[in-house]
Amino acid sequence: MRAAVVRALALTALAGLAAAAACRPSTPPLTPLVIATGGEGGVYRALGEAFAATLHDRWGVHATVLTTAASIENLRLLRVGKADLAFTTVDSADLAMRGQPPFSTAVRISALAGLYDDYLQIVVRAGASISTVQDLRGRRVSTGAAGSGTEIVADRVLHAAGLGGEGAIVRSRLSASASGEALRAGRIDAFFFTGGLPTPAIAELARTVRVRLLSVGSIAADLQRTYGEVYLARSIPAATYGMEHEVPTLAIPNVLVVRSDMPVAEAREVTALLFASKARLEEVHAQARRLDRRAALATFPVPLHPGAARYFRETKVWVSGR
């Protein structure tokens, strides 16, 4: 009788182990990953945290999310091996690959996927006597956190508007959240930020302060002629922050990138999970709805990682030689 009970318990345990094994993902476990995102109040941070949670829940991967100044700092972290994945705009990535300032040497990166477009947003109070970018002369302006992609675009826009000289504006370098707080408190007159729509920090500000966005106007065409396809002419819908009119501006595609030496198999699995986690990413920000396998192939000027290419071939999205 005792032997029969022992056998029954053993069979039950084996059945439980088999069921547990069946429930475990078939994907091989990945090494711990570090994701460089952005600052509080930005879309990069929200999506990075959600993706890290998916890595842990789906595969048991320990993923660390770094709060950063965003694109430029993220690319520097990749270069020195302190991050494995990074969100970045393509204009910042272009500078990194070329080793042009603010980078001292070239950064070898590859893209896993194109994500969505960031929009340049130049925020002022609705009642401010600031109607154009040129009106920022002599004003207190945040051009984005030091080491951010926002600062790259802000400098280029200010230069095109004739405000690139020393002392043309009273500059500060604040994150999106800090910029919103500073504008609310009257410590600055305007701030630049590039991010998905709506940017959480700007949406939070707009709930208590009526805001207006400055049109980039003809400056957009100037930057396109100078820098090419890293900038796109787009408009921000009026309903985004309760404004009266849509606002012409620049859009900057952004991508999820890794070092070029990431193993092919690992890059393939991370890319696959990115698309498998779309629903979860959508829960934290609407921009994740734009994550699309076909659109994700548009990573210019960043080359697609061979592991990501393998995923897209396996899912019949991309064929070699296409």
Q: Is 80 exceeded by the pLDDT of residue 203?
A: yes
Question: What does the alpha-carbon distance between residue 76 and residue 44 come to, in Å, rounded to a whole number?
Answer: 16
* 8 contacts: CB under 8 Å, gap ≥ 6: none
Please indicate whether the domains covering 26-116+254-314 and 118-253 agree at the CATH topology level: yes
Asked if residue 177 lies in contact with residue 39, where contact means CB atoms within 8 angstroms, the answer is yes
Question: What does the alpha-carbon distance between residue 74 and residue 90 come to, in Å, rounded to a whole number?
Answer: 12
* 128 contacts: CB under 8 Å, gap ≥ 6: 189, 190, 212
Question: What does the alpha-carbon distance between residue 126 and residue 129 come to, in Å, rounded to a whole number?
Answer: 9
Query: Following DSSP, what letter does each residue of 219-243 receive, concatenated?
Result: HHHHHHHHHGGG-EEEEE-GGGTT-
pLDDT category at 25 given cuts 50, 70, 90 is: very low
Q: Which residues pair with 109 in a beta bridge?
A: 259
Query: Is residue 199 classed as helix, strand or coil in its secondary structure?
Result: coil
Residue 95: what residue type? L
Give the homologous superfamily in CATH for domain 118-253.
Answer: Periplasmic binding protein-like II (3.40.190.10)
Domain ranges within the chain, ordered by starting residue: 26-116+254-314, 118-253
pLDDT tens track for 271-317: 999 999 999 999 998 888 889 999 999 999 999 999 999 999 999 87
Question: What does the alpha-carbon distance between residue 88 and residue 195 come to, in Å, rounded to a whole number?
Answer: 11
Average pLDDT, the chain: 88
Could you give the angle at the alpha carbon of 260 between the alpha carbons of 92 and 98, nearest 5°? 35
Q: Which residue has the higher pLDDT, 19 or 90?
A: 90
Give the pLDDT confidence score for residue 258 in this predicted structure. Answer: 98
Give the homologous superfamily in CATH for domain 26-116+254-314.
Answer: Periplasmic binding protein-like II (3.40.190.10)
- The mean pLDDT value for 48-63 works out to 92
Give the pLDDT confidence score for residue 55 in this predicted structure. Answer: 92
Q: Is 70 exceeded by the pLDDT of residue 232?
A: yes
Asked if residue 184 lies in contact with residue 125, where contact means CB atoms within 8 angstroms, the answer is no
Give the pLDDT confidence score for residue 304 in this predicted structure. Answer: 97
Q: Is 60 exceeded by the pLDDT of residue 9?
A: no
